[in-house]
Structure 1
Amino acid sequence: MIRGLFILFLKNPILIWCRSFYNGCKLLWRHRYKNLKIHYNVHIGGTILGMYNTFYDNVEVRNCSVGSHVYVSQNTIISNATIGSFCSIGANCKIGLGKHPINYLSTYPAFYSNRKQSQISFVKENHFEEIGRVVIGNDVWIGSNVTILDDVTIGNGAIIAAGAVVNKDVSPYSIVGGIPARHIKFRFSIEVIEKLKQFKWWEKEEKWLLENLNFFTSEKGVDEYLKKNFDETNII
């Protein structure tokens, strides 16, 4: 009873605002040289951040590595993930939230985990690896309401359609959607994708990006890049 009352106290709106403000100030100070931008009630812990990242309202990021120029929309939770640069992550996403065994007698954690998620545990040591790692490449667009399960790798340039549940690896520059997520199509031809894999524009310096904005501002940009660097035309 006392614990329940204490939890209710912690969820008092005024206390939540005060904690959010205090934690936000600490977070911004800790990353003061990284041009970090956070909105209301953002929680980031055990995480390495790159430059120019933006986190919107009620975002939680735990035990992650996040590249540069990434934004995460509101009400998204990310745990135990490695995220590349220039990624767009939509609202209400759930990424890397842990696993339950499907071939054990029970899926209930008290029988295989000593973490006491349900107050008690019947075992003294863990008998199942509950936490996997999600790897998200560079220039990945994840739509709203997407769930990505543990141990999944999302390739560079991929697009995850809104509402998808991703339970297996996604190839670079592919578009997937549905429950479970299925391959819809590739963004470009296989020949173009192979050349874009070599390109790795997300590793370029900001000066190069500014000098070559024409590659990014129209549908012809990919073709123009290939003409300039591979001496090929109209292969998309």
Structure 2
Amino acid sequence: MKVHILTADDDPHIRELLGFYLRKEGYAVFEAEDGSAAASLLEHTPVHLAIVDVMMPLKNGLELCEEIRRYYDIPVILLTAKGEQRDKAKGFLSGTDDYIVKPFEPEELLYRVKALLRRYQMVSSDVITLRHTIIDRRSYEITVQGQQMQLPLKEFELLAQLAAHPGQLFTREQLLRQVWGEDYSGDSRTIDVHIKRLRERFTDISDDFVITTVRGIGYKLEVLSR
């Protein structure tokens, strides 16, 4: 089955450019001229990745990205003419997986598309592999260098959530909702405490990954290459 990619941008020239290069790589491309049209398309068309412009009429890219995060498990790339740090922060807070500033090189965009699709495909099953660390979401077991270990439930679920999307930045509020649930009444310090415990548990036994703090925003898990 072909990979379906949604491109949402109110500039027809950008949509044409994206469509040309994506179709050349063999992807099926579905175009939307604004955020509202993109949301409607997602309701009835299977999409594996979305490329979304930030500044769009009816529903902007940040709003669309938040909606995708609520209802779909697909990677999102935000396109924007704004490259300042606070603009990028808004993008990641809305839940995007990646962020590209216009004007962009099509080859770079294709590289990022392929990297995100590989990442999501890697974690599509119940078993997540981070080099020599294996996280089994069915049995709630973790294997490090062939040795099994078990974590308290919330630590396991927090690690699995981060590991399922390596490189993706999550805010504390997002992690609270996804791991503790919408009705949890505690504050975001809970996340900090559990992250600290996870780091302490894995520091001396694995160099497969690291949980990175992004100051003022949240956390992301990065797989180490060494």
TM-score interval, smaller chain: under 0.3
Q: Which has the higher contact order (CA 8 A, sep 6+)?
A: 2
> TM-score, normalized by length of structure 1?
0.24
Q: Which has the larger radius of gyration?
A: 1
> TM-score, normalized by length of structure 2?
0.24
